Chains A and B, each alone.
Chain A
Amino acid sequence: MAKFEPVLSKNFGKADAHKLSVYKKGGGYATAEKVIKEMTPDDIVERVKESGLRGRGGAGFPCGVKWTFLPADRETTYLCVNADESEPGTFCNRFLMENDPHQLLEGILIAGRATRTTVAYIYMRVEFHEQFHILQKALDEAYDAGLFGKNIFGTDFSMECYIHRGAGAYVCGEETGLIESLEGKRGWPRIKPPFPAIEGAFSKPTVVNNVETLCCLPHIFERGVEWFQSLGTDNSKGPKLYTVSGPVKRPGCYEAPLGITCRELIFGDDFGQGMRDGLGVKGCIPGGLSVGVLTEEELDCVLDFDDVRKYGLLGLGTAGAIVIPDNADIRQVLMNVARFYSHESCGQCTQCREGTNWAYKIASRIARGAGRISDLDLMVDITTNMGMMPGLSICGLPDGAAFPMRTIVQKFRAEFEEHIRQQPPGAVEETLRKTNAAIYELPILGRV
């Protein structure tokens, strides 16, 4: 196989890559100009559908198909760019925005033309300060060059583009939560249907796409659908930015065709280059925190949209791997995961709000050395009864919470049990007394 030539990351690390003049010198905006001048919106949608581009934000929904859900007789269409990257372990969008902001803007132009967008909002999480300044400057430059606004490239296509800054909420990465937040409300996901394509931001048809999905668009039109189809596996086409973090020698963001294995990502010379300080791998969360965990034996899992499901994972997620070294305490890992979701649950659905909180309480009790074997079963029970998959919640956050917690408990059960067996006798009661002293002072409940 010919050596893979990176496209999404081709400008990473180049000097002044965020400037319009530098981007244009490398052939930038020529594709968008060609597409906008020569193709009709329907042709663009058709071409993207042909390419098989699947959304890179986590769910992997085909991008072109999503666009066809828009009603044909619409007047206003909003495009929301999801730059609220807050999944632990994921940072490829940050790389794209700080190193190559114009690639994203070019993608927005093409997607905007395809969906006949009137206003595009880039919903950016507030913690991206430096990235905001870089992208805003790039956007200002693009506006000055007439790339946004009225009559783009001398055609009748007009589109505005604004950056909307979030304010620190994980759930705003969910598409309807993002729309609510854009409207100035709490980022509470909406009940679907109606889907955003019919009734989204300001009750108008709205498309929500991930940053990386949009960054793929210029390359599909520049290099052709065949090139895009030649990369990747059966149902997962194209290049993908993989990220790897944790105690590996070279943590970072690397581009590869979809379908490398998790082992390659950690140990490959082009990727993580193995573990630091002679550490071993205990496990790996391969796609952002929400997908679940792989054990050391399962590292040969292929990271595309399909294979991950064979290992009991939620999906590919965002392909951001977190490597758990063998010296890490699995109880602390579980507690950290549970804390994240209990903090980020928006509180709308009872079983998610309460379930994630109880999971955190149980996990921290285990981590403090006061676990019970029955806690592990209870944890599995909670996590199978709170998500969208049993049909109980509005959005997918509780599923994202359930998969890592459940897979950690199930796949590392022996280790948890070993820890619990080594607890001194009476540890559970003692901790309960300490944490809930008030209850034990009551006349009746005090008798354990």
Chain B
Amino acid sequence: MGWKTLDRRTAKHDTEAGPVLNEAVRDKIRSFFPRYETKRAVLLPALHVVQDALGHVSYQAMAEIAEVLEIPPSAVLDTLTFYTHFWDHDKGKKVAVVCRSLSCQLMGADSVLDACKNELGIDEHGTTEDGSFSLVTEECLAACDHAPCMLINEKMHKCVKPEQVGKLLKDAKNAEIEPERSDLFDGPTASATPAPSQKNNGDEAVADNGDDDVLGKTSDVDEMRDS
């Protein structure tokens, strides 16, 4: 990920558009407080919850998480940028993660990745135009016995052959997992998430800066969403 900077003087947070985190999400974050000695320790669970609820963690969301946890917003950004799991811009509905570590590479992960790129028409870290898929690579997914392997959202697909990739990515049930799910780190249930228009505004608060090229990526995503 390249460097992205926000200019404090020009980036305006449109507070009139309202917060991106609703009370339900905030309550869910607060429910982790008794588990840890400090509020900052709730940051990772909070980021998981917010990413699940909103799809990604926007700058506005980071500022609001900071407000709930009573820490500086820079601390949230600091932590978030260290971890590869969190997205600060919009991602696809499903994320395909292809393992690229040694066991998988020896068993043909490169051709699986190429098949994914061809099938989806995107490069690594890209998102399809309809916003249905994002493609990333990860280091070892700890399923070397089933190499080459890939994740689609939470589902681990084992011993993937390049010729199966097309069918696999089209399968509507390719992200369903067998074990009973625990909703501990999920966002609050669908009804409680904010209306789409409100969510959009929240993002624009950061991205609505015609002359601010550094935010190009976020603006692209917004255009994509509007179209």
Docked Cα-Cα span, A324 to B102, in Å, equals: 9
Contact B182 A140 (CB under 8 A): yes
Contact B138 A127 (CB under 8 A): yes
Interface residues on A, range: 35 or more
Query: Is A86's CB within 8 Å of the partner chain B?
Result: yes
Q: A127-B141, A167-B83, A184-B79 are in contact. Are A322 and B177 (CB under 8 A)?
A: no
Contact B43 A184 (CB under 8 A): yes
Contact B142 A90 (CB under 8 A): yes
Which of B8-16, B34-42, B111-119, B162-170 is the contact stretch? B34-42
Contact B106 A181 (CB under 8 A): no
Contact B82 A169 (CB under 8 A): yes
Docked Cα-Cα span, A2 to B116, in Å, equals: 50
Docked Cα-Cα span, A343 to B137, in Å, equals: 11
In the complex, residue of chain A having the shortest beta-carbon distance to the beta carbon of B154? A129
Docked Cα-Cα span, A183 to B182, in Å, equals: 23
Contact B41 A202 (CB under 8 A): yes
Docked Cα-Cα span, A164 to B44, in Å, equals: 8
Query: Is B135's CB within 8 Å of the partner chain A?
Result: no
Contact B82 A322 (CB under 8 A): no
Shortest Cβ distance from residue A185 to the other chain B in the assembled complex, whole angstroms:
6
Contact B85 A89 (CB under 8 A): no
In the complex, residue of chain A having the shortest beta-carbon distance to the beta carbon of B34? A160
Query: Is B21's CB within 8 Å of the partner chain A?
Result: no
Query: Is A221's CB within 8 Å of the partner chain B?
Result: no
Docked Cα-Cα span, A202 to B155, in Å, equals: 34
Shortest Cβ distance from residue B179 to the other chain A in the assembled complex, whole angstroms:
5
Shortest Cβ distance from residue A104 to the other chain B in the assembled complex, whole angstroms:
15
Contact B142 A86 (CB under 8 A): yes
Chain A residues within an 8 Å CB radius of B42: 184
Which of B84, B139, B182 is in CB contact (< 8 Å) with A137? B182
In the complex, residue of chain A having the shortest beta-carbon distance to the beta carbon of B108? A247
Query: Is A280's CB within 8 Å of the partner chain B?
Result: no
Q: A133-B179, A140-B182 are in contact. Are A202 and B38 (CB under 8 A)?
A: yes
Contact A184 B140 (CB under 8 A): no
Which of A130, A163, A247, A332 is in CB contact (< 8 Å) with B177? A130
Docked Cα-Cα span, A371 to B97, in Å, equals: 31
Chain B residues within an 8 Å CB radius of A164: 44-45
Q: Which chain B residues numbered 24 to 55 have a C-beta less than 8 Å away from chain A?
A: 35-38, 40-45, 47-48
Chain A residues within an 8 Å CB radius of B141: 127
**Residue-by-residue, is B71-89 near A (CB-CB < 8 Å gives 1, otherwise 0)?**
0000000110011111000
Chain A residues within an 8 Å CB radius of B185: 132, 165
Query: Is A274's CB within 8 Å of the partner chain B?
Result: no
Shortest Cβ distance from residue A295 to the other chain B in the assembled complex, whole angstroms:
16
Query: Is A94's CB within 8 Å of the partner chain B?
Result: yes
Which of A136, A170, A324, A344 is in CB contact (< 8 Å) with B184? A136
Chain B residues within an 8 Å CB radius of A253: 145
Which of B40, B82, B145, B156 is in CB contact (< 8 Å) with A129? B156
Query: Is B151's CB within 8 Å of the partner chain A?
Result: yes
Chain A residues within an 8 Å CB radius of B193: none
Q: A169-B83, A324-B106, A344-B139 are in contact. Are A130 and B44 (CB under 8 A)?
A: no
A-B contacts, 13 of them at CB < 8 A, read A91-B143, A94-B142, A119-B35, A127-B97, A130-B178, A166-B83, A167-B83, A183-B38, A184-B41, A185-B40, A243-B145, A245-B147, A251-B144
Q: A184-B69, A243-B145, A320-B144 are in contact. List 17 more A-B contacts (CB 8 A).
A: A91-B144, A125-B142, A126-B85, A127-B138, A129-B151, A129-B154, A130-B154, A130-B155, A132-B182, A137-B180, A165-B185, A166-B44, A181-B44, A183-B40, A184-B42, A202-B37, A328-B106
| A-B pairs with lowest CB-CB distance, top 3 | A184-B43, A167-B83, A245-B144
By a beta-carbon cutoff of 8 Å, the part of chain B in contact with chain A is 35-38, 40-45, 47-48, 69, 78-79, 82-86, 97, 100-103, 105-107, 138-147, 151, 153-156, 177-182, 184-185
